[in-house]
Every structure is written in structure tokens, then in C-alpha cells.
Amino acid sequence: MLYEQQDSFSTQIISGYLWALLNTIKRIWSGRKKKEEHINGRTALVARFELEVSKHLNASMQVADYADIFCMTPKHLSATIKYACGQSAKMLIDGAMLNEAKSLLTHTEFTVSEIAFQLGYADHSSFSRFFKRLTNISPGQFRLHPKSGHKKR
């Protein structure tokens, strides 16, 4: 009889430990899944942001303009983008603008002023300052030597 009571007690203890273990596993798995959903949501936001940037390259849009599209503050948008991909929203906008400028300089006969206008710059000099700040060479120099003068970001 005493043996049966100990066996029943041992079964209850093992059952309790097993229940606690399964709940811990469930909690960890659930937290992991939420984190993955959160990360996937951020990745989706970055993809949507990059799409919006590519659609509005010639509109001279700032981070605040994109934040309005996504119904969030500029600070939150930039922080979310930076957390997800390691670059600020401004850096992604500038990078897309620079890539488009390089493409136009390399593959078209447009003047630097025409390219500046196409990309939404009011004048050729502000575009040239932007380009030189990111590449260390002027747009005209880039057109002559497209493989040189790339500044690492």
C-alpha cells in the first residue's frame, strides 16, 4: 500500500514537471514565432519603403513625406528601417537617388542639368553637391570615368 502511494505521488510529480516543461516550450516557441512575425513585418516595411522610394524618385520626397504614406512619424519610420536593414531611411533614399543618377549619367546623353531636373532638383548645383558628397567626384567626372571615385558608405 505504501509502495502504491509513493508510485502515485511520483507519477504526480513527473506529471507536474512534464506539464511545466511543455508550458515552457510552448512559451518559448510562441515568443519565437512572434519575433519572426515582427522581423518579417519589418522586412516587409523595408520592401514597401524601397518600392515607394523608387516610385517617387523624381518628386524630391523627404523621410517625412514617406512617413505620411506609412502613417507613422519620420523618427519611427527611420528607426524601423535602420533596425531592419542597418541603414537609415535617408540613406536608402539617397542611395536610390544616387543609383538612378549614375544610371542616367552612364546610359543617356542628358546633360547634368537635365538629370538634376529629372530627379527633382531645383538646379544643377544642388544636384552636383549631393552627387559629390556621396561619391567624392562631380557628375561630369563620373560620366567620364564611371568606375572611379566610389565612396564607401
CATH for 122? 1.10.10.60
CATH number, residue 24: 1.10.10
The pLDDT value given to residue 35: 47
| Three-state DSSP state, 92 | helix
Give the angle 115-131-108 at the CA atoms, nearest 5°: 30
The pLDDT value given to residue 59: 80
The pLDDT value given to residue 37: 47
DSSP 9-72: HHHHHHHHHHHHHHHHHHHHHHHHHHHHHHHHHHHHHHHHHHHHHHHTGGGT--HHHHHHHTTS
Q: Are residues 76 and 123 in the same domain?
A: no
Distance CA 84, CA 86 (A): 6
Q: Are residues 15 and 85 in the same domain?
A: yes
Residue by residue, pLDDT tens for the chain (153 residues) are 545 556 666 777 777 667 776 666 666 656 555 544 445 667 888 889 999 999 988 888 999 999 999 999 999 999 999 988 899 999 999 999 999 999 999 999 999 999 999 999 989 999 999 999 999 999 999 999 887 655 544
Q: Are residues 71 and 99 in the same domain?
A: no
Q: Which domain holds residue 108?
A: 91-144
For the chain, what is the domain count? 2
Q: Are residues 16 and 85 in the same domain?
A: yes
Q: Are residues 61 and 107 in the same domain?
A: no
pTM for the full predicted model? 0.68
The pLDDT value given to residue 147: 76
The pLDDT value given to residue 84: 87
The pLDDT value given to residue 31: 57
By C-alpha distance, which of 148, 55, 144 is closest to 106? 144
The pLDDT value given to residue 17: 66
The pLDDT value given to residue 18: 74
By C-alpha distance, which of 113, 102, 97 is closest to 143? 102
